[in-house]
Structure 1
Amino acid sequence: MSQEGSRKSLRLPGRWRSWALATLLTSLALPAATVSARPADQAPAAPREAESAVAAEPRIVRDRVGYGAERRRQMAAYSERHYGDREWRLRDPDAIVLHFTASDSYSSVWSTFDSNAPNLGEEPGVCAQYVIKQSGTIGELVRPGIRCRHTIGLNHRAIGIEMVQETGRGPHWADRQILARRPQVRAALRLVAWLQARFEIRTGDVIGHAMANDSPYFKDLEGWRNDHADWLERDVRTFHKRLRRLG
C-alpha cells in the first residue's frame, strides 16, 4: 500500500523503481451534519455536484483494525503538529484520495494498518478507511469519521481508499490494471459515489495520491510533501468519466 508520503518538499519522483517498497504504508475520521436556515422566500443555493446524484450504499464488510484510545491520542497529537488542531475525528471530509496497495495481498495491508507501526518517525501508524480487493469486496478498516494517515497534508480533510494492486511496470500501468478489472473498479466507483453523496464531496475533489500536493485543502505545518505516484491525474480523469456516468 502507499506510504503516507515524504518529509522532503518533493513533487512526483522522476523514477519509481524504489517507490514500490516505499508505498507499502499509508494514513487516513462521522462528520457532524449541519443545517442552515434561510427565509422561505429565498431561492435555494445551487447544489454541490455530489448532491444531484442519489447513490445507494454498496455492500461493505466491516473489517476494522485496532484504533483504540492510544491510537486516537497519537492521531490527535499528529494533527496538532501538522494541521494545528488537536483532533482524531474526521469531520465533514472534503476530499477522497485514491491509492493502490503496491501488493497483491489484502491480508498484508490489513496487518500493516493494524500494527500501528510508526511511519516517517511519527505515530500513529498508517491506515486508510477503505481497502477494495481485486474481487470487488469492499473492506471498511476504519470508520470514515476517524482520521487515518494515508496522505500527507490531507488526513484532516480526506477519506482514503486503497485498491489491492501491485506496482508492476509502474504507477500508470498499475492504475490501468485497476481500471480494466471490472469487479474492483465497479466497487470503487460505487463506494466513491456513495461517499460523495453522503458527505457532499465534489468529483473534482476525488483525487489520486499523486495529485495531493496541489489540492486546495492541502496543509502541513511541518513542510512535509507527498512524493507518491499512485493514481496519476490522467488515470483519475478516466475514473471521473466513469463516475459521472453513474449519475
Structure 2
Amino acid sequence: MPKEQVHLHWASTNKQQPCFCNPEIYLNVTKLKATPETIAAIFGVKEPETIELKERENGKIIALEEGEQPVWQLEPDCHYDVHVAGCKDSLAPAVPINQIFSLFPGDTDDEKSDNIQKLSENFYGKIWNDKETPKEFQDRFISLTSSASIQAFRQYDWFHEVFGGPSMMGSSNPRKSILLPKVMAKHTSSRMTREYAITWLEIMDKSVNEEFPNEETLQAALKLYWIHFFGWFPYSDEDRREFRRIVWK
C-alpha cells in the first residue's frame, strides 16, 4: 500500500449500523483531502458535520482544522476510526452497497436485474434523446459508443455487480470487483468536471424517480451510492455540498 494512504475504519459503535461501503477504506491523502464532506461521501453519511475521527490505537480525537475547507491532518499509514455522532438519520440505511440489489422490485433475481436494466436504459435514453440535456454533456457521452443501448448495458453491468447481483458479474464484494478498475479508468478528469457531475446526478435523479417512485428505501440507498462514487474524485467541499443538495432536495 502506498505510504501516502491512511486507513479509515468504520467504528463499531455507530448505532450498530453496518458500514455502507467496505468497513476499512484506504484514503490517498495526496489526492483526496480528509475533509468531513469527503469522508461522509465515501462512508454514506448524510450529515458530514456529525463525523468524528479518532486514533484507532488510543481513541484520541483528531482535531478538525477549521477554515474555508475544514480538514483533518492525518498521518500516512496510520489507522483512524470514523465515528458518527447525533441521530440515526445521519447514517446510511441499513443496507450496504453490495446488498442494494435486494432492494430492487421483483420476486426473482431476474426481475430485479430487469429493473436495474430499465433504470440504465431510462438514464441513457434521456442523454440521447432528451432536449433538456446539455449538448456538451450529450456529445461527451455519445462520442463514447455507438448507441444508448450499448452504454446502458455497460452501466447495468456495473450496477449489477457492485449492488450485489448474482455471480454472472463476478464477486458481489466491491473490494474484489472486476469492473471497478475499468470503470474508474474511464472516468478521467475531463469527464468528471463539476458541471458534468451535476448534470449526471440531475438526470439520474429523474430516472430513479420515474422507475421507482414508491421505493423510498431503494431511492435513499441509490442516492448515497451516487455520492459515494463521486466521493473518490477530487471535488471541493462546495461541489460535494451541491451534489448532496441535488440528491436530497
What interval of TM-score do these two structures reach, taking the shorter chain for normalisation? under 0.3
TM-score normalised per structure 1 = 0.27
TM-score normalised per structure 2 = 0.27
Structure with the higher helix share, 1 or 2: 2
Who wins on radius of gyration, i.e. which is larger? 2
